[in-house]
Amino acid sequence: MSAASTAEPAFVAKTKTGRFTDFVDARVGGSGILREFGRKVFPDHWSFMFGEVALYSFVILLLSGTFLTFFFDPSMAETHYDGSYVPLKGVEMSVAYNSSLDISFDVRGGLFMRQVHHWAALLFVASIAVHMLRVFFTGAFRKPREMNWVVGGVLLILAMAAGFTGYSLPDDLLSGNGLRIIDGVIKSIPIVGTYISFFLFGGEFPGTAIIGRLYMLHILLVPALILLMIVLHLFMVVVHKHTQYPGPGRNDNNVVGYPLGPVYAAKAGGFFFIVFGVLALMAGFFTINPIWNYGPYDPSPVSAGTQPDWYIGFVDGALRLMPGTLGDWQVEQVWFGYVFSFNVLLPALVPAGILFTVMFMYPWIERWITKDDREHHVLDRPRNAPTRTAIGMAGFVWYCVMWAAAGSDLIATHFGVSLNDVTYWLRTLFIIGPIIAFIVTKRVALALQRKDREIALHGRETGRIVRLPHGEFIEVHAPLDEYKRYRLVGFESPEVLPAVPNEHGVVTRKEKRRAFLSRWFFEDRVAPATPAELEAAHGHGHAAVEAPEEAKSLSH
Amino acid sequence: MGNHSDGSPNHSGTVATAGQNEVEKFQDPGLPPHRLRLADTDPKAAKRAERQVALLFGISVVGTLIFLVAYFAIDLGPGESTIGNIRLQNMLLGLGTAFAMLGIGTGIVHWAKALMPDHEVSEERHAIRYEEDRQAAVRIVDDIVEETGIKRRPLIRNTLLGAVALAPLPAVAIFGDLGPRPDNKLAHTMWAPTDGRLKRLARDPDGTPIKASDVTIGSAFHVIPEGLNELVEGKLNEKAKAVVLLMRLDPDSLNPSAGREDWGYNGIVAYSKICTHVGCPVALYEQQTHHLLCPCHQSTFDLTQECKVIFGPASRPLPQLPIAVDDEGYLVATSDFKEPVGPSYWERDMHERSINS
């Protein structure tokens, strides 16, 4: 020890900041962390910002939400309004609604903070959704990131839960009707539904307990869970390091990008302020949830064109699409003296259940079909995974049909068409929309791949028409440089994996199913262009773009 | 940042063969050559970028000032809190915050993009797990399990499992007082006669009773039971079950089924306003078609067929409230609803049978 200390004298900081930093470092060991992360490389792409938007929206939600808690009172006791908003003067209402009005009209900046909070909530769920679409369509969920995909899915559900519990707090007419719908859905649950409803509302709907209970969930339990999940999510991002888009110099063994300090940190940090600024603009100029127009909750009135916040829309739309009667046959059934409200249960649970189950399981489904156990750090361009992209689009269209159905009445009034026809059309699209989306997407992806091949082999069209000495006109194609070409050819195109017998020499039924799905996935494929093909294309002038048959097996 | 793939005339070896059985693939040419930005080569451009960043930060300061002025100069005291004032203040607070935040944000990003090094670097990825670590971890876990002796002493293991499995039960049971038991509360409403006195139909929300002569053909009334507004506790709970729509049609267009002939009066009929789907108020009366429409999910009920569902997600007709006219000409409910109102629930059919027995 003494020998070492004589060889290397102890570090003495020279500046004040240096001494302070050294004091902290010597006690918590920060230099090791800084050494590890200070120059950590992050790939850069605009589509990587959606997750950041979600994170920053959440921070803004915490900031604006904390402000709101100082003024909001979640009591459902009755009071008479005596604030500044004249049209509601003297109206009987709950203390919660009263304090929400006070925040809007009698607390300076209160309306601004309410609107920042609500816009940020909408943006939070939206950015999570778009982030998940990006992750899905680029294949970022593959090994080793499957668990982080699940954590992300849980975050989406929690974000929706946070949104809904917050939406109901002002106890206005609109959100009260939303709670009424939730109560109706809960009551349709077999056996325990009535009990859950009574336990949630502290008795009959609406009771005097629900706002206080939702408030606790909204400001404590759900945000704590979200925070926990965010920590897990980011921890895994650090462990895995970020994925990167394919391109020259990028492969599964490296990560290409900017070092955390200073460029990436500056861009990411600056982006927080940009998100905040955009939300502030929206809150300053666009009204969101004008609760003073709706009035206090009352079980009798309802406004036409009632809409939930956008992320609940798909469930509400599914409720609208389900027919309650087929001719004279009631979808609701009484069996053994008990009621099965299939007209409520099925649309409330089944579509959301299918969407989330497939979403959570998809990484394992694809891994099973492809038997691909390698780590993937380079993303797929969506066109280079046609079947996955088509599956994603089918699910996305299905979701969007349900979401549009939540506005069926507004579609009917805005376009002057029959409400019933809108519903019939949407019911049809609910069934065939995803199928059409699947077929169209897959064909478009394959066509884009063929275009990539064409460009890789023959170069870019220059638009320059040249007349040859013997009179022929040709358009000059400019060859790509090798970096651009590599972007078009540097991808994997998996082939169909036929069923193979297990160790007992038996081809199991499961393996047959897997082989069937593998064929469904990869039967139609466009192989990346090869150097030999490029050679041939140059050698024979304008020879076929198509590869020789053994190299690829495009079905059309 | 720089698009490195542009303009790189130099070619390196493009062909590589990955394996004997595989088709040759293009070889990764590696990272494209770095291209310098204007600010890297021209000190003037760098200086210009520096001034732009400083200007953006300056805009942020202006934004903060706008916010503070808007906050302190516009007061929301009594008499001041007009819609115009609030709108102006809200707009200026938004504008100020937006400038303050966007100034900082765009300034930093511009700084990073124009002046900080934009050279992309490549870093090796490391294995997430090393085989050596895995084996060490397995040994450690084995040792831990061995030292507890849990495999050798099944008595300890089984009793522990039993105890741990039962221990969370109190945590579930302790929520038993979140709400009362439902019993048959959902089966009854305020319309049931109290002490033999029939309840009058009153207007929502003021509570004045309705005379049969007030109800002209084609008109519709939103109705609550008399005495609802005087309730001290549970007013909304009662209202959520008891609200009724009252309409008068040409008596010939109504087709009452057997047993319901005397539930209306002179073409006046009353139906529960609570949708049998998920409980929204069925608030839209289409006078010409005699349809009732729920604005939440568009369930449509036909008044001339005793509010049978003709469209939408509801399954059951709206419950009818039997009404008559009392000595003074006011409409009264002759009894409570003959079935539970509102959305279906598990015990609903049981309750309906017990009401009618």
Q: Which residue of B315, B341, B353, B354 to mutate against A (max A Cβ within 10 Å)?
A: B315
pLDDT beyond 70 at A92: yes
Contacts with A165 (C-beta within 8 Å, 6 or more apart), sequence order:
A214, A215, A217, A218, A222
Q: Does residue B2 have a pLDDT over 90?
A: no
Six token digits for residue A149: 């995909």
Residue B282 has pLDDT above 90, yes or no: yes
Q: For chain A, what's the residue count?
A: 556
Q: Give B329 to chain A, closest Cα distance, Å.
A: 25
Q: Average pLDDT of chain A?
A: 92
Dump strand ranges (E) for A391-527: 460-467, 473-478
CB contact under 8 A, A195 and B297: no
What pLDDT does A36 receive? 85
Check if the beta carbon of residue A75 is closer than 8 Å to that of residue A263.
no
For chain A, the structural domain boundaries read 2-37, 44-299, 442-553
Q: How many CA atoms lie within 13 A of B25 on its CB side?
A: 18
Query: If you search the block for the tokens 């047959």, which residue do you land on?
Result: A512
- Over residues A45-78, the pLDDT tens digits come to 999 999 999 999 999 999 999 999 999 999 999 9
B240 reaches A (C-beta below 8 A): yes
Contacts of A111 in chain B (CB under 8 A): 86, 90
A277 membership: H or E segment, kind and range: helix A265-285
In which residue ranges of chain B is CATH 2.102.10.10 found?
Answer: 185-356
A341–B296: do the CB atoms touch at under 8 Å?
no
The pLDDT value recorded for residue A555 is 40
Give me the residues of B, 85-114, that contact A with CB < 8 A. Answer: 86, 89-95, 97-109, 111-113
Where do we find the tokens 């009631």? A330
Residue B23 confidence class, pLDDT cut points 50, 70, 90: low
Residues A161-185, mean pLDDT to the nearest whole number: 95
User: Is residue A306 within 8 angstroms of chain B, CB to CB?
Assistant: yes
Q: Does A286 touch chain B (CB under 8 A)?
A: no
**pLDDT digit string, tens, across residues A341-375:** 999 999 999 999 999 999 999 999 999 999 999 99
HEC readout, A170-183:
CCEHHHHHHHHHHH
Question: Which residues of A are less than 8 Å from B108 in CB distance?
Answer: 266-267, 269-270, 273
Whether A481 and B11 lie within 8 Å, measured CB to CB: yes
| Lowest model confidence (mean pLDDT) among A4-8, A142-146, A179-183, B218-222 | A4-8
Quickly count: other Cβ atoms within 10 Å of residue A99's Cβ.
24
Which residues are within 8 A (CB) of A525 and not within 5 positions of it... i.e. 6 or more apart?
A: A386, A493, A494, A495, A552, A553, A554
Cβ atoms within 10 Å, residue A424: 14
Over residues A305-330, the mean pLDDT reads 92
Q: Is the pLDDT of residue A249 over 60?
A: yes
Residues of B in contact with A85 (CB under 8 A): 81
pLDDT in tens, B325-335: 999 999 999 99
The answer to whether B204 contacts chain A (CB < 8 Å) is yes
Q: Is the pLDDT of residue A120 over 90?
A: yes
Q: Does B220 touch chain A (CB under 8 A)?
A: no
Which pLDDT tens digit goes with each residue over B337-354? 999 999 999 999 999 999
Q: Which of B8, B15, B76 sits opposite A483 (nearest CB)?
A: B8
Strands B220-225 and B199-203: antiparallel
Q: What's the pLDDT band for A13 if we cut at 50, 70, 90?
A: confident
pLDDT of residue B357: 86
Which of B3, B8, B21, B26 has the most A C-beta neighbours within 10 Å, making it the best mutation to test the interface with A? B26
Nearest to A292 by CA among B235, B83, B79: B83
Subunit contact A108:B74, Cβ cutoff 8 A = yes
CA distances from A93 to A162, A163, A213, B91 (A): 25, 23, 18, 28
Q: Please, how many CA atoms are within 13 Å of residue A492, restricted to the half-sphere of its CB?
A: 13
pLDDT over threshold 70, residue A336: yes
Confidence class of residue A6 from pLDDT cuts 50, 70 and 90?
low
Query: Is the minimum CB–CB distance between A344 and chain B shorter than 8 Å?
Result: yes
In the predicted model, what is the mean pLDDT of residues A214-237? Answer: 97
Buried b (16+ CB within 10 A) or exposed e, A316-347: bbbbbbbbbbeeeebbbeeeeeebbbbbbbbb
Contact of B336 with B189, CB cutoff 8 Å: yes
B343/A344 touch (CB, cutoff 8 Å), yes or no: yes
- Of the candidates B112, B273, B314, the beta carbon closest to that of A324 is on B314
A232 phi, psi to nearest 5 deg: -60, -45
| Residues in chain B within 8 Å Cβ distance of A105 | 76, 81, 86
Percent of chain B with pLDDT over 90: 73
Contacts of A302 in chain B (CB under 8 A): 280-281, 283, 295-296
d(Cα A406, Cα A522) in Å, to the nearest integer? 36
Question: Between residues 29 and 68 of chain B, which touch chain A (CB distance below 8 Å)?
Answer: 29-32
Q: How confident is the model at residue B39 (pLDDT cuts 50, 70, 90)?
A: confident
Which pLDDT belongs to residue A29? 86
Burial class of residue B338 (count of CB atoms within 10 Å of its CB; 0-12, 13-18, 19+): middle
Tell me: pLDDT of A178 over 50. Answer: yes
What is residue B22's predicted lDDT score, i.e. its pLDDT?
Answer: 57
Q: Which CATH class is domain A44-299?
A: mainly alpha
Q: Is the distance from CB of A237 to CB of A148 less than 8 angstroms? A: yes
Residue B148 has pLDDT above 50, yes or no: yes
Beta carbons of A115 and A301 less than 8 angstroms apart: no
pLDDT cut 90: percent of chain A above it: 81
CA-based nearest residue in chain A for residue B17: A531
Q: What is the structure's pLDDT at A540?
A: 56
| Res B205: pLDDT | 87
**Do A108 and B89 lie within an 8 Å CB cutoff?**
yes
Report chain B residues whose CB lies below 8 A from the CB of A41. 121-123
Whether residues B97 and A280 touch (CB distance < 8 A) is answered with yes
Q: In this structure, what token pair is assigned to residue A455?
A: 């460009």
Integer-rounded Cα Rg, in Å, for chain B is: 38
CA angle B291, B297, B299 (to 5 degrees): 30
Question: What are the beta bridge partners of residue A325?
Answer: A330
Local structure of A80: helix, strand or coil: strand
Residue B342 in contact with residue B319, Cβ under 8 Å?
no
Give dist(CA B81, CA A111) in Å, integer. 12
Q: What are phi and psi of B331, to 5 degrees?
A: -75, 135
Which residues of chain A have a CB within 8 Å of the CB of B103? 277
pLDDT at A457 over 60: yes
Identify the CA nearest to B18 among candidates A490, A4, A233: A490
Q: Which residues pair with B200 in a beta bridge?
A: B332
**CATH homologous superfamily, domain B185-356:** Rieske [2Fe-2S] iron-sulphur domain (2.102.10.10)
Q: Give the tens place of pLDDT for each residue, A477-515.
A: 898 999 999 999 999 889 999 999 989 989 999 999 999
Query: Which residue shows structure tokens 């605009």?
Result: A46
> What does the alpha-carbon distance between residue B260 and residue B248 come to, in Å, rounded to a whole number?
16
Q: What is the pLDDT of residue A410?
A: 94
- Note whether A468 and A474 are within 8 A (CB): yes
User: Does pLDDT of A553 surpass 70?
Assistant: no
Q: Is the predicted pLDDT of residue A88 greater than 50, yes or no?
A: yes
What's the complex ipTM? 0.90
Question: Would you place residue A538 in the very low, low, confident or very high pLDDT band (cuts 50, 70, 90)?
Answer: confident
Distance of CA A216 to the CA centre of its chain: 26
Band of the pLDDT at B10, cuts 50, 70, 90? Answer: very low
| Statement: residue B12 has pLDDT above 90 | no
User: Does the structure show a pLDDT above 80 at B233?
Assistant: yes
Provide, as residue numbers in chain B, all residues whose Cβ is less than 8 Å from the Cβ of A300: 204-205, 222, 224, 239, 243, 273, 281, 283
- pLDDT above 70: residue A2: no
State yes or no: pLDDT of A213 exceeds 50.
Answer: yes
**More confident: A490 or A231:** A231
Q: Enter the DSSP assignment of B265.
A: B
Residue with tokens 């021209």: B42
